[in-house]
Structure 1
Amino acid sequence: MSQKREERHHHLREILLRQGRTKIKDLAQQLSVTPETLRADLNVMEKAGLVIKEHGFARLKMGMVESPVAMRNQENQDEKRRAMSFALTLVHDGDVVFIDSGSTTLPGLPALVGKKDLIVVTNSLLIANECVKLDLKIVMIGGFVFNNGMRTYGNFATELIDHLQIDIAFLGTDGFKDSLGFTTCNENEMGLKRHLINRSKKLVVVCDESKFETKAPFSFCRFSEIDVLVTNKLSPEQRKTVGAVPTVYEID
């Protein structure tokens, strides 16, 4: 998918969030595209389970559905980059580093350039590709590929994790509003994340502040199970939410 189409899908989702059920011809006008282009975009998003088309209208599909990572990469880019760039300063020369899939972990990867003798482990096709560009040594976890997240999962992935000694793992989360811990939209992530929690010497969760207002159905760990949370500047109420995390870094 082209970057231009990814950006259009992101803006389309934002419009439907604000306006609710909207005429397709009105959406085309707001995005300055032809109705044919808009219908093609809606077909892709409908196939991904993000929107519903009905008699000349479109609306977001309700419920917790993971949007494609290419779309999420367009959201809160600066906040994600600053948080992940800081988080990666916690990496030492010679570390075995796990980097989770997701839109938060990808932008800060250039912060690893200059570190010596690293091994980067990941289940993300996008992160593996970016690490190759940065000339980093990669262990790519195999398994089934979840297309929306561009990541691998399943027994083949978790079995490999069990043969690694991971010094520091960087995990993402889909949101944790009204939760006792960090959560994910997909049950297929839970097994891998639990194996990582058991196999890693240090656990770091990285997220932008939007995750404080987002819910997801599956909890993969309690706040107290991780070592560090790196996020954006928090309100007093948000700090209270993650009070059980031993160390919290707030990045302006």
Structure 2
Amino acid sequence: MYAMERQQLIEQLIVADGRVAVVELADRFAVTTETVRRDLALLEERGVLQRVHGGAVVASRTSTIEPSLAERSERRSAAKEAIARRALDALASGATGSVYLDAGTTTAAVARLLAGRPSGRPLEVVTHAMTIGHVLAGAAGVNLTAIGGRVRGLTAAAVGAQAVAAIGHLRPDVAFLGANGISADFGVSTPDPDEAAVKRAIVASARRVVLVADADKLDAELLVSFAALDEIDVLVTDAAPSTALAAALDEAGTEVWLA
């Protein structure tokens, strides 16, 4: 096989899967790992991919890229709705108690479902996300508490020391957490250090942590890790994790629920 043909196939693989591994490519094409690394270097120069330890990821999944809230709201909306519905199984029917909602488009889908639940004894809901607060304000069956702080424009979420300190004084029964990436080696991650600090505080405070993440987040690694896999009680997603990630989640004791 010519080098150009091999590189075209690598490009197709990374577009389809989002990630490739050097060793697996070497086995697939019966070439040395050094040959594969040269192929990846050329593809990186063309902007097709970003090399990472042990392989490469599609260029749009590099560690600091973060789409706007509006852009993310339009992506995989049906999958996020399904994930949100499955995630609410973490709450008993007619549940009372307290819930924390992290910022994010999938957690916003959870919020919309909570806003439409039958009224009864109110559920205490806390969030630092301005958009989620807007969804839940005045909703029947919800007592809403909003956490303040400096609002980050890209996510419309309060961040900073004030928000982190306020979360540290809480002990919600269940936290629905969002993320930009989850991987076997790096845990749960996000591109922004300020967002990561808030998410880390949520994980430390909640009695049970439910991570809602669509398949695009699986095996992705962003700049800042804010939780180890064993700190996540349940991962709710819409596709089976890769072999490596599934094994790591099993070892960590994290339940995987498919929507």
Alignment of 1:167-182 (within 5 A): 167-177=173-183, 179-182=185-188
Of the candidates 132, 136, 154, which is equivalent to residue 131 of structure 1? 136
CA 1:68–1:184: 2 relative to 1, 3 Å: same
Q: What does residue 228 of structure 1 align with?
A: 234
Q: Which amino acid aligns with 2:151?
A: V
Aligned to 1:250: 258
Secondary structure, aligned partner of 1:82: helix
Q: 1:96 pairs with 88, 95, 98, which one?
A: 98
Cα pair 1:177 1:212 within 8 Å, conserved: yes
1:27-38 correspondence to structure 2 within 5 Å: none
Change (3 A) 1:108 1:194: closer
The percent of aligned pairs where both chains have the same amino acid is 27
Cα separation, 2, equivalents of 1:247 and 1:199: 19
* Uncovered stretches (5+) of structure 1, i.e. residues with no partner: 1-16, 18-59
Shift of 1:146: 0.3
Asked if 1 retains the 8 angstrom alpha-carbon contact of 2:210 and 2:236, the reply is yes
2:191 to 185, 192, 200: 185
The residue aligned with 1:114 is: 118
Cα deviation digits, residues 208-249 of structure 1 (max 9, x gap): 011114330110111111111111131552523533242111
1:159 alignment partner AA: A
| Stretches (4+) displaced over 4 A | none
Q: Aligned partners of 2:155, 2:241: CA distance in 1, in Å?
A: 30
Ranges in structure 2 where 5+ consecutive residues have no aligned partner: 1-14, 16-59
The superposition leaves residues 151-200 of structure 1 with CA deviations (integer Å, 9 ceiling, x where unpaired) of: 00111111211222211101111013463310011100222222222211
SS for the counterpart of 2:137 is helix
Conserved 8 A contact 2:100-2:127: yes
RMSD: 2.5
Distance 1:69 1:245, change over 3 A: farther
d(CA) in 2 for partners of 1:66, 1:192: 17
- Describe the shift of the 1:213–1:181 C-alpha distance in structure 2 as closer, same or farther (beyond 3 A): closer
The offset of 1:76, in angstroms, is: 0.6
Q: 2:75 — aligned with what? A: 75
Considering only CA atoms, is the larger Rg found in Structure 1 or Structure 2? 2
What amino acid is the match of 1:78? Answer: A
SS at match of 1:249: strand
Q: 1:161 to 1:94 in 2, by over 3 A?
A: same
Alignment partners' CA distance in 2, 1:228 and 1:121: 20
In the other structure, the counterpart of 2:149 is 143
Paired with 1:196 and 1:236, the residues of 2 have a C-alpha distance of 27
Other-structure match for 2:247: 240
The residue that corresponds to 1:199 in the other structure is 205
Which residues in structure 2 correspond to 1:3-42 (within 5 Å)?
A: none
Other structure's SS at 2:87 match: helix
User: TM-score, structure 1 length as denominator?
Assistant: 0.70
Is the 8 Å Cα contact of residues 214 and 239 (structure 2) preserved in structure 1? no
Give the partner amino acid of 2:254: P
**CA distance in 2 between partners of 1:213 and 1:222 (Å):** 14
Distance in 1, matches of 2:171 and 2:82, equals 28
SS of the residue 1:107 aligns to: helix
Query: Which position in structure 1 is the counterpart of 2:9?
Result: none
8 Å CA contact 1:98–1:166 kept in 2: the answer is yes
Q: Give the corresponding residue for 2:3.
A: none
CA distance in 2: counterparts of 1:63 and 1:102, whole angstroms: 18
Contact 1:225 1:245 in 2 (8 A): no
**Is contact 2:63–2:223 with CA below 8 Å preserved after alignment?**
no
Please say if residues 63 and 222 of structure 2, whose CA atoms lie closer than 8 Å, have aligned partners that are also in contact. no
2:43 counterpart residue number: none
Matched residue, 1:53:
none
Question: Any conservation in 1 of the 2:147–2:166 contact (CA below 8 Å)?
Answer: yes
Partners of 2:118 and 2:136 lie apart in 1 by 13
Query: What SS does structure 2 have at the residue aligned with 1:138?
Result: strand
Deviation track 1:113-140 (CA, whole Å, cap 9, x = no partner) reads 1263211111111111111263322111
